[in-house]
Amino acid sequence: MAVMPSMNNEIRFFLLSLARRSIKHFLETHDYLKISETNLPSPELSKKQGTFVTLTIDEALRGCIGNIEPLNPIYQDILENAVSSAFYDPRFLPLSKDEFNHVKIEISLLSIPQKLDYKNSTELLEKLSHAKPGVILQKEMNKATFLPQVWEELPSALDFLSQLCLKAGLSADEWIMGELEVKSYTAEVFHE
């Protein structure tokens, strides 16, 4: 699995600030914040990369939206995913002005997903238990992902895979059948 170059603290702070400004701007104007690439602290942020923005209040999930594949420049992805996490995650009502003052922002910069080859469910468990990567499961039209930080909540590979199958709309034991396409990825994660 490819390791991504790490962002320095200045860039991390810029992206977290950008996400917060983006949400605040949308709360006030109902429009997306626009910034010029000339205002970026690094040309790295113009590169395309998969990103997720996760919002929490009192450590409870409040929104999480992102793109696994590198579709947009990093800074643009953060602008859009911050707003989507705050206002368009179907699991939650739109973020209120009061909640905005309490929300914490986490950003995940993803590596490009790689197909995970495995012979059987035992080997799949072993590979995932060892690496604890982000995982994408797919069977036909059913697809779901868990970011690498979900391992903190579901440290058992068996539970991790079962819950991911359920998230994809499959039976919890679908991963045992061996007919799933599995991809893995890493993430550089930072938060306020």
pTM, 2 dp: 0.88
Q: Are residues 27 and 85 located together in one domain of the fold?
A: yes
pLDDT of residue 172 exceeding 80, the answer is yes
Looking at residue 149, its pLDDT comes to 94
Q: Are residues 76 and 97 located together in one domain of the fold?
A: yes
Tell me if 82 sits within 8 A of 21, measured CB to CB. no
Q: Are residues 74 and 42 located together in one domain of the fold?
A: yes
pLDDT of residue 2 exceeding 80, the answer is no
Q: Are residues 74 and 129 located together in one domain of the fold?
A: no
Q: Are residues 20 and 87 located together in one domain of the fold?
A: yes
Max Cα separation, the chain?
Answer: 53
CATH number, domain at 26?
3.30.700.20
pLDDT band at 71 (very low <50, low <70, confident <90, very high): very high
**Angstrom distance (rounded) from CA 14 to CA 11:** 5
Looking at residue 70, its pLDDT comes to 93
Q: Which of 65, 95, 110 is the last residue of a domain?
A: 110
Q: Which of 53, 84, 110 is the last residue of a domain?
A: 110
Q: Are residues 147 and 89 located together in one domain of the fold?
A: no
Q: Are residues 92 and 143 located together in one domain of the fold?
A: no
Which is nearest to 11 in space by CA: 111, 149, 107? 107
pLDDT of residue 4 exceeding 70, the answer is no
What's the average model confidence in pLDDT over 163-174? 96
Burial of 97 (0-12, 13-18, 19+ CB in 10 A): exposed
* Structural domain of 146: 114-186
pLDDT of residue 182 exceeding 90, the answer is yes
Given the structure tokens 């860039």, which residue do they identify?
A: 11
Domains of the chain: total: 2
159-181 exposure pattern, b = at least 16 Cβ within 10 A, e = fewer: ebbbbbbeebebeeebbbeeebe
Q: Are residues 106 and 118 located together in one domain of the fold?
A: no
What's the average model confidence in pLDDT over 123-145? 94
Q: Are residues 85 and 22 located together in one domain of the fold?
A: yes
For 8-34, how does the pLDDT look when each residue is reduced to its tens digit (9 = 90+)? Answer: 899 999 999 999 999 999 999 999 999
Q: Is residue 131 part of a domain?
A: yes
CATH number, domain at 132?
3.30.1490.150
Looking at residue 107, its pLDDT comes to 97
Q: Is residue 2 part of a domain?
A: no
Looking at residue 5, its pLDDT comes to 52
Looking at residue 40, its pLDDT comes to 93
For 104-131, how does the pLDDT look when each residue is reduced to its tens digit (9 = 90+)? Answer: 999 999 999 999 999 999 999 999 999 9
Q: Are residues 96 and 120 located together in one domain of the fold?
A: no
Mean pLDDT of the chain: 93
Q: Is residue 34 part of a domain?
A: yes
Q: Which of 84, 110, 136 is the last residue of a domain?
A: 110
Q: Are residues 101 and 126 located together in one domain of the fold?
A: no
Which is nearest to 190 in space by CA: 2, 3, 4, 13? 13
Tell me if 97 sits within 8 A of 86, measured CB to CB. no
Strand order through the sheet with 50-57: 60-67, 50-57, 104-110, 187-191
pLDDT band at 39 (very low <50, low <70, confident <90, very high): confident
